[in-house]
Structure 1
Amino acid sequence: MRRWRMRLLGLAMLMPTQAVTAGTEGFKHSSWTPEQGAPGNLVGITQSRDGYLWLASTEGVYRFDGLSFERIPLPRDSRFANAIPTSIFRDRTGTIWVGFNQNAGAAIYRSGRLVPVPMRDAPPSILKFAQTRDGAIWASWGGQGDRLFRYFKGEWRLMDYVVGLPPGEIASMATTADDSLWVSLGQSREVGSLARLPWGASRFVAAPDRVGFTMLGRAPDDALWISDGLGTRRIRDRLGTATSGDRIFPAVPGAAVPSLAFDRRGGIWGTTRGVGLFRIDPAAAVPLERLQAGRLLTSDATIETFVDREGSIWVATDAGLDRYRPVAIARIPLIPPDVQDGLKMARAIDGTVFVAAAHRLYAIAPGTPGRVVQDGVGRIGALCPAVDGGVWAVHAGRVTRDGGGESIGFALPPDRMTPTSCAQDRDGRLWLDGEGAIWTGARGAWRQVPSAGTGGGVMDIVPDPQGAGVLVNTGAADLLRLTPEAQGRISARQLGIGPIAALWSSGAGVYASGAGGIARIQGGRVQRIGTAANPWLAGVRGMAQGSDGAAWFLARSGIVRVAAQDLDQGFARPGAGIAHRTFDAHDGYETRGQAISFRGAQVAAVGDGRVIVATRAGPLVADPSQLGADALPPPIHIRSLSAGGTRWRDPSGRVVLPKGTHTVQIGFAVNSLAVPSRNAAYFRLEGQAGDWTGAGNRREATYTNLSPGRYVFRVIGVNADGTWNRDGQTLAFEIPATFLQSWKFKLICLVAALALLWIAYRIRVRVLARQIRSRLLDRLRERESVARDIHDTLLQSIQALMLRFQFAIDGLPANHEARPDLDDAMDRADMVLAEGRDRLRDLRRTEGSADPEAALREIARRQLAGTAITAAVRSSGTARPIDVVAWDELASIASEVLFNVARHAHASDVSVELQYRPGGLMLRITDDGIGIPAEIAREGRRGHYGIPGMRERAARFGGVLMIERRREGGTQVTVTAPAAMVYRAGAREDSQDR
């Protein structure tokens, strides 16, 4: 702040390091007119905390994110129907206030819309706002009568008579650091006055200053400035104390009620309302610069100025919006371009850069804007540093040293060509190019270097940092290394960059560039960086390293800066990309490098850190001190949410969207206004799969096919300087489910689906059961048919045959020796016949399905005959008719089990139970014998098929057979079968356990 004040006081007439160009040099001008969507007739500018530029216009209220203008609807109150905005202001809390005409009063921006601030007896218009320490808002209008109003604790109050406001039209209001409220008043267009209301005082105090009708401007150091017919000057310091002896800058003829803004380089910008824009640079020899329509200005009717958070100056005009952004690249007004002979540059050992242009020699010393060293020197063919100070210049047939103490000069070598390249080695010898040759010598004693091998000529000569000679670029792929006695080469294979386009020295190294990249010769070795990962390095014209070690390249794409550590890493890893920053037209580089025929250094570093670049538009200066002037993260703002035809502006909290919403659009902004096109945004939606998405040039995200649920939208961004805002902003929203999307409906659908599946399953089971039953019934009928045939034929024939044998035996004498054998055979035949009848009865077991319990008793009696085992047979549940096929298999299983009990169980009791259940039928046979081994229960006895056969029989009617060894002794065999397979339709009979 002290340095800034010193500028304004004019105590130092030299341009400081931070600002070496005068006027608008160093500022990039941009403009927006109605053709680009900007409103016209602007009357006020401010900036909100979220980074938007807010504009008051006769066309309405707008906010601007650097890319698009968004119109904010006026309040719905009828008072604002025909009113237009007349002022705009941001208070300390960040609230945006808008003043209106037509006695509408004021409105504030809240929750995405302008809300009226009720004001009884509002003035015809509100032109200015101010705020004091207590948070009170002061508003004024520019007419007579009731002029000053105060809003405090939700109430407006007229203050003219309360605080003793002096007469006159209020032009502007401002506060100083001591919280005094200052008012500038006007008695006419030429005569005005000042009044002050100290903090805590009850009455205004008139100031004795002689002023015109003007506005107050508050400088960065909180001092008050005015501009009127007497000039532009400071009238009060930050505490409101009158100043004396301050410099008065010239007035601008025709300016009416100027408003002032102060840039970060010490300049003062002022409007005129009709004769353009002016800028005052206190450190310049001619401090006042005028801008008018057609020269970096859209209209002469300039109304308001404003400085944004990044240091840009904004100007409101009746034709649109102008911006003057401080940039790191600027022209040097002192030195003109030279398209005929080209610029020549060389850096002396004291950090001064000498520039030859238009028959003059200039010197740019550290901390100075530059000066003319010699005028009328004619065409300078070559310029190179002298080892003992100053530079060597080739002109008018001589070589002279300038700027290094004693002036020395001597004639050029006897060559038909005027040298275009020169260098002085560490031993003080000068080297000059000639026609197919190179000359070297000191104080005019020249000799030609033998076998120079220059071929078509020499393009660049630089001192060899490793020897007493020079390195020479002839445009070939090899680099010559020359000494007075010998020559050598650095081969193209070592360089690895193709034909050499340029050669220069910087620091302790020599650099060469070509289509394949750049090479560095330093410390006895060659390193390179290729263009595969760094395409911007192709065809570099030159480079210089600033005081911080950063390298500044003149490339085809613009001026490229690479940090020192990044450059070293690039040479260490030649295949990797290098972090860099390119300065192009957005940064003040609106031209290109000189023609390739103009040789010598194209980039040179001043000792104070500035870098000079030779271009077709003249020398440009790159000032590293202007880099990162605003390292603040860019504000990220979610400006809208749209869904189902409804739009929420500046949504906050959790937004509940209409039921059934499938598509949402979310608008956002990265509010760095410096170079908005370089801002980048990345977004993601939590609640939906996906990673961060780059927004590109879009500032809206669209999501489709969203399901009901809760979502969180996140957006982050980075500005043109590479400063990130990784916190970004979030928006939570919820999509309620419709009935068809609700869990209740889904549950109903699930239950219905399960029911349909169950029905389908039951139908399928019934069909399969019917098919199985039909096949088994066919087999059963075939069995019965076979049994009848055997009974009706074989058994009856055998019985008839036995009857005949019996007749024959009866005819034999009682003592016949064959009679006992025949009687025994007949007994055996009776037994076989009885067994055959039993087997036939087994084949016809279907008859037992009518009374399963009785049939089981009969099976038990027959299978347990001849044993001491007692059998108990009973049934339980509601009796149901059993399918004959299923009963046949069930009875066979019961017969097999009881047969095994009789033969193997060594039991005394056996229980047979038949249970009728709603879900099916269960047959359980339990004995109290020795029990069955577990392995036999699982797989049966090897070589026997009783147990596997029982399991197969159970499976035929959908049943399951289980054989278990009981803990208390014995074996339990259980057969269960589903109702659909064992029951058949018919009348039910109720029975009790018995």
Structure 2
Amino acid sequence: MSCAGAADIDHGAYWRSGLLQTGWSKKDGAPSSVFSMTQDSAGMIWFAASDGLYHFDGARFERTDQIDGHKLLSPVTMCVDAFGDQLWVGYQYGGVSVFEHGAVRHYRQAQGVPEVTIQHFGKMPGGMMWFSSGKGMHWLDGAMWRHAGAADGLPDGPTAAFNILPDGGMVVYFPDGLYQSAPNSHRFRRVLQQEGVEGGELRPDGTLLINSQQHGMQIFNPVTAAVAPFALHNGHLPMMGYASDRRGALWVSVGNGIQLLDREQRPLKTFTPAQGLVGKGFGSMLDDREGNMWLATEAGINRVRETRLTSIDLPVGMDAPSVVAGNDGAIWVNNLFTQGNLRHPTISIAADGTRSNTSMVRVSASYRQADGSAWFAADRALWRWQGARAQSWNKPAALLDNDVQAMAMDTQGTLWLSIIRHGIYGFRDGDWRPRNGRDDLPRMTAVSLLADTKGSVWFGYTQNHLARLENDRIRQFGAEDGLAVGNVLAMSRRGERLWLGGELGAAYFDGRRFVALRDSNGNHFRGVSGIVETADGELWLHDADGLVRIAARDLAAAVVDADGARVASERFDYLDGHDGTPSQIRPLPTLVAGSDGKLWYFTTSTVGWIDPAHIQRNPLAPTPAVTALRTAGRVYLAPAAGLALPAHTDNLEFDFTAAALTIPERVRFRYRLIGLDSGWREAGAARQAFYTNLGPGDYRFEVMAANEDGVWSSTAAATAFRIAPSLTQTVWFRLGCGLAAVAALWLLYRWRVAAAMARVGERLQERATERERIARTLHDTFLQSVQALILRFDVIKKRLPAADPVQEQIEQALKAADDVIIEGRDQLMDLRIASAYVGDLRKALADVGAQLEAQHGVAFLMDVSGTPRKLAPDVQIEAFAIGREALVNAFRHGGGSPVRMALDYTALTFTMSITDSGPGIDATVLAAQHRPGHWGLVGMRERADRAGGTLDIISAPGAGTQVRLTIGVRMPGELFKKPLFRRTPAKAA
């Protein structure tokens, strides 16, 4: 029996007749022989069964031996109950466990728990915890359980049932009667002496429904202690068990099924194994927080829930019903086909459910006129009902064997009828007129008819054919006008648009063409046989899969392209109580609007309704949970934050769920992995996520869920974890690899520089060798030949008379020849100097200065600043040549003044200057940058340019001359071409 507290009582609306029962058995993973059920704060349902503890999220049953990583005391559980965030578990052989926020506390015999079966838990509003067992009642006093016995006013012996009262007190059932405590107290007194009371159920009004084999069912008032009889009106079926729910309804096990009783204790709904009930009768019952009822039977678990579509009971054998709306919320239910002699008449059903039969049978078509009158095309007559008054007209003899397919009345009061194999007829004041006198009407049978408020009459035919009678003119439409619905089964026009439905979809007429209507995924609505546009602008379709609602705002926001108009829509299908298949021939249309705003639909097997203004919604957001994290080698159940995964964990699977119990098939999830994903991923109905090729680092997996009405959870379930890096994934390893790469690049660079320098040295050596060859050739041939000529001319000169005028000419020629010899020797020195002084520029220039000092008797001074470094070979040759040329010029033209040379080495530049204090260089020579007939200055500038430097010559008359060469450090990429410096080895410094 229930031990629900006062906080669980809900005075909600009573059950409607639209109920759907779903069952799960062992083959579905559900437990059997369940002793107790509860729902935790996250919405999960828990079952204590003989073979263990189970939980259910609406989609999957799972048996568990542990909660949050803590093992149960025993797999044989007898009682489970949830209070706030606490989950209490009782065992068959004694022991109690309470799980809360990832922790557990176990109570055994040492804590006062007897080694007997724990039956039920209860919690008083003040927080006092109780359980019943084979040794009576126990309450929790701090860390110990105390037995409530004779000292507390209770008899010794077992008890299995008790109720927490609305005032905070308790009623306990013992074999000799009822015992009641004061609020939040463990002191009891007997309030009813009556043997054989088996238990009781707390009702919404605070009274108890008790039962005993001796006295039957009774109502006990805990406030007055009064007892009153209670009678069932369930057809004298046996009562094998009962329970009361939060709505005040009574559920009764009747031996081979379960009955739900109405407020007068009469059967409202019966569930049997033939209707899908798993088992024969329930042992425990649970109201969940979403308003569903759970019944545990001996064979499995059953859920009963209200559907959004409410079907009505039909007479047995009525398998081709149709509906037309009456006045004041009433409807008429017709039946077309008969079975043998069974001919169901049309039924009138008032808004309060009162039913009455009529004399009309085999109604194939019906129509509601604007004034509320209802027209019926019956077997042999045409009927019109105005309130309770009926009028009929016999069909013409030629039409008796043919059913009416559709009817519509125009603004002139003419009733248009489409009759099988006879086409269109007009009816007015008892007169039947073929095609209503319109020879221009198509002669085929119209499948559907519509007379709109603008005075037009529309005729829907098969194969995308439509006609309109407007202003006494007929216009026909077809595929060339965009019509693509196939057979035109339904038409509706309330506003400006004409809506069409057919076997291939739905469409609307925009005044020029027909536009196909598709859902947000681009799919057609199949087999649309009913269309209603409500006063609020909503569009409702009845297609092969159920009802479709398209809100007015979604119609306004429709995206129109070449394929039609895409709209967001909401579907009501079998999950909402839709059963059967709507007609595709007749009777039509299969969806009509009642005068009270309800929409009535019918299929081959059912008639039902939905109120667009009061659609049942689930406002309760589901609570998501991450249930497992799986790696290649391990499963982490309910992974806690801060989980550390080993290195090389690159593939992960996350299992998640959310307890949404009403329509779990429509629950939707989205998830993300912070540290990888930039946004949410839509998972649809899937409850797993997979990630591959993850690297080391910190991650956080989050998941959110939405219920069947799109209400998303306010917070995400999350689990944070870290994947440890392997040795090769550490920062130090990567840094080491980086340093190794840098070192390798540096070594490659040094090798490349060395190779380049070696090639340069080879080329310089080749050049020096060639210069030496040329120099030897010039010295041994050309200069020797010139010298021999000079000697011969000198001999000739001496043989001539001293006064001979030729003497002067020969003297001038000999002087010119001496200049040639000197110039030639200078050139030979240039050729040989590259190989003679490649090693040390400073020493080479010092040697040149010393030779010139000795030759000309002029002082030579040399100054070196900075750290001397070797220049690149090609640069050194050019610098030496410039320095030698400048020294020669200074000694020759410096007027005997001392010659000074300065070499300056810095980190970025090399500077060489040669200075004298002589007469200086003529201004015209400086301006021309060379002396006529001499090319020394030009050569120095060319050499400076080849070395990548600049040459400055500073001179003024009487102020001496300074020649300064400056070479800067080149870009690193050019060092291979023309490197400037080479480090001087320490031993040579």
Report the TM-score, using the length of structure 2 for normalisation.
0.83
Please state whether the residue corresponding to 1:321 is helix, strand or coil.
strand
Q: Match of 1:704?
A: 692
Q: 1:101 aligns with which of 63, 85, 92?
A: 92
Q: Match of 2:349?
A: 364
How do 1:892-971 residues align onto structure 2 when only pairs under 5 Å count? 892-895=881-884, 910-913=900-903, 924-925=912-913, 946-952=940-946, 954=947, 961=949
Change (3 A) 1:83 1:525: closer
Following TM superposition, by how much is the alpha carbon of 1:126 offset from its aligned partner in structure 2, in angstroms? 1.4
Q: Match of 2:340?
A: none
1:407-432 Cα offsets, whole Å, 9 max, x none, are 32333345333551333444544444
Please state whether the residue corresponding to 1:747 is helix, strand or coil.
helix
Give the residue type in structure 2 aligned to 1:853: R
Following TM superposition, by how much is the alpha carbon of 1:98 offset from its aligned partner in structure 2, in angstroms? 1.1
Please state whether the residue corresponding to 1:310 is helix, strand or coil.
coil
Q: 1:393 aligns with which of 369, 372, 376?
A: 376
Q: Match of 1:319?
A: 299
Give the residue type in structure 1 aligned to 2:803: N
- Does the 8 Å CA contact 1:213/1:228 hold for their aligned counterparts? yes
How do 1:153-552 residues align onto structure 2 when only pairs under 5 Å count? 153-161=142-150, 163-166=152-155, 169-183=158-172, 185-187=173-175, 193-208=177-192, 213-218=197-202, 224-226=208-210, 235-236=220-221, 248-250=231-233, 255=239, 258-262=242-246, 267-270=249-252, 276-282=257-263, 286-287=266-267, 289-336=269-316, 338-339=318-319, 342-357=320-335, 358-366=343-351, 368-374=352-358, 377-395=360-378, 397-402=380-385, 404-417=387-400, 418-420=402-404, 421-434=406-419, 436-448=422-434, 449-451=436-438, 453-467=441-455, 470-475=457-462, 477-481=464-468, 488-489=474-475, 491-492=477-478, 496-497=483-484, 499-505=486-492, 507=494, 511-514=499-502, 517-519=505-507, 528-531=515-518, 535-545=523-533, 550-552=538-540
1:640-670 Cα offsets, whole Å, 9 max, x none, are 2233634333234333323443222221113
- Does the 8 Å CA contact 1:920/1:976 hold for their aligned counterparts? yes
1:905-960 Cα offsets, whole Å, 9 max, x none, are 99997542265x9x9995643769999xxxx9xx99999564453343x4xxxxx6
Change (3 A) 1:714 1:663: same
Give the residue type in structure 2 aligned to 1:781: T
Give the residue type in structure 1 aligned to 2:324: A
Work out whether 1:71 is the aligned partner of 2:63.
yes
1:506 and 1:90 map into 2 onto residues whose CA distance is 54
- Does the 8 Å CA contact 1:592/1:616 hold for their aligned counterparts? yes
Following TM superposition, by how much is the alpha carbon of 1:310 offset from its aligned partner in structure 2, in angstroms? 1.9
- Does the 8 Å CA contact 2:78/2:91 hold for their aligned counterparts? yes
Following TM superposition, by how much is the alpha carbon of 1:721 offset from its aligned partner in structure 2, in angstroms? 2.4
Please state whether the residue corresponding to 2:462 is helix, strand or coil.
coil
2:863 and 2:433 map into 1 onto residues whose CA distance is 137
Give the residue type in structure 1 aligned to 2:789: L
Q: Match of 2:959?
A: none
Q: Match of 1:957?
A: none
1:815 and 1:928 map into 2 onto residues whose CA distance is 43
1:275-314 Cα offsets, whole Å, 9 max, x none, are 5433222268x33654343433111252211122222211
1:482-537 Cα offsets, whole Å, 9 max, x none, are 69x95633533667345542234465676432356445579x99874435975443
Gaps in structure 2 of 5+ consecutive residues: 1-8, 336-342, 955-961
Please state whether the residue corresponding to 1:50 is helix, strand or coil.
coil
Q: Match of 2:82?
A: 90
Q: Match of 2:32?
A: 40
Q: Match of 1:783?
A: 771
Q: 1:755 aligns with which of 743, 759, 776?
A: 743
Following TM superposition, by how much is the alpha carbon of 1:851 offset from its aligned partner in structure 2, in angstroms? 6.3
Q: Match of 1:717?
A: 705
Q: Match of 1:559?
A: 547
Please state whether the residue corresponding to 2:161 is helix, strand or coil.
strand
1:446 and 1:576 map into 2 onto residues whose CA distance is 41
Following TM superposition, by how much is the alpha carbon of 1:674 offset from its aligned partner in structure 2, in angstroms? 2.2
Following TM superposition, by how much is the alpha carbon of 1:540 offset from its aligned partner in structure 2, in angstroms? 0.8
- Does the 8 Å CA contact 2:489/2:503 hold for their aligned counterparts? no
- Does the 8 Å CA contact 2:191/2:225 hold for their aligned counterparts? no
Q: 1:973 aligns with which of 952, 960, 966?
A: 966
Moved more, 747-756 or 513-522: 513-522
Moved more, 502-511 or 735-744: 502-511
Report the TM-score, using the length of structure 1 for normalisation.
0.82
Change (3 A) 1:759 1:528: closer
Please state whether the residue corresponding to 1:39 is helix, strand or coil.
coil
- Does the 8 Å CA contact 2:485/2:507 hold for their aligned counterparts? no
1:863 and 1:211 map into 2 onto residues whose CA distance is 144
1:79 and 1:665 map into 2 onto residues whose CA distance is 24
Give the residue type in structure 2 aligned to 1:949: R
Following TM superposition, by how much is the alpha carbon of 1:780 offset from its aligned partner in structure 2, in angstroms? 0.4
Following TM superposition, by how much is the alpha carbon of 1:175 offset from its aligned partner in structure 2, in angstroms? 2.4
- Does the 8 Å CA contact 1:281/1:288 hold for their aligned counterparts? yes
- Does the 8 Å CA contact 1:428/1:442 hold for their aligned counterparts? yes
Change (3 A) 1:283 1:808: farther
- Does the 8 Å CA contact 2:375/2:382 hold for their aligned counterparts? yes
Q: Percent identity?
A: 25
1:905 and 1:215 map into 2 onto residues whose CA distance is 135
Change (3 A) 1:908 1:48: farther
2:449 and 2:840 map into 1 onto residues whose CA distance is 124
Give the residue type in structure 2 aligned to 1:87: C
- Does the 8 Å CA contact 1:62/1:70 hold for their aligned counterparts? yes
Give the residue type in structure 2 aligned to 1:95: Q
2:915 and 2:616 map into 1 onto residues whose CA distance is 98
1:75-106 Cα offsets, whole Å, 9 max, x none, are 899996655110111112x2211111222333
Please state whether the residue corresponding to 2:159 is helix, strand or coil.
strand
Change (3 A) 1:299 1:437: closer
Q: Match of 2:593?
A: 605
- Does the 8 Å CA contact 2:286/2:294 hold for their aligned counterparts? yes
- Does the 8 Å CA contact 2:364/2:587 hold for their aligned counterparts? no
Change (3 A) 1:242 1:394: farther
Please state whether the residue corresponding to 1:465 is helix, strand or coil.
coil
Moved more, 568-577 or 496-505: 568-577
1:812-845 Cα offsets, whole Å, 9 max, x none, are 2222222122223223322321232222122222
How do 1:23-62 residues align onto structure 2 when only pairs under 5 Å count? 26-62=18-54
Q: Match of 1:139?
A: 131
Following TM superposition, by how much is the alpha carbon of 1:887 offset from its aligned partner in structure 2, in angstroms? 4.8
Please state whether the residue corresponding to 1:103 is helix, strand or coil.
coil
Q: 1:128 aligns with which of 120, 123, 126?
A: 120
- Does the 8 Å CA contact 1:503/1:542 hold for their aligned counterparts? yes
Following TM superposition, by how much is the alpha carbon of 1:617 offset from its aligned partner in structure 2, in angstroms? 0.8
Gaps in structure 1 of 5+ consecutive residues: 1-7, 11-15, 955-959
- Does the 8 Å CA contact 1:497/1:515 hold for their aligned counterparts? no
Q: 1:873 aligns with which of 862, 876, 886?
A: 862
Cα RMSD over matched residues?
A: 4.5
